[in-house]
Amino acid sequence: MVPGRRRFGIYRFLPFFFVLGGTMEWIMINVRIGKETFYDVYRRKQAEREYQQRLEDGLIASTGETNK
């Protein structure tokens, strides 16, 4: 017999997954692998994608000058 099965049904696992998600988020924010956290890598990749998109759209010249 599983504790809380009759009273809470499938929701009896909710606190476990809430704690698991919070732990994963804390690790992604605070744990450094080398010199970077997960969010450092995410921000850098996002900036690279935006820059590449602007190059493709012609908003930024490939020499570093902006189009007018």
pTM of this prediction exceeds 0.75: no
Domain definitions of the chain by residue range: 1-31, 36-68
Instruction: Give pLDDT tens digits for 16-53.
Output: 999 999 999 999 999 999 999 999 999 999 999 999 99
Comparing 68 with 25, the larger pLDDT belongs to: 25
Q: What is the distance between the alpha carbons of residues 43 and 30, in angstroms, rounded to a whole number? A: 15
Longest dimension (CA), the chain: 72
Structure confidence at residue 1 (pLDDT): 65
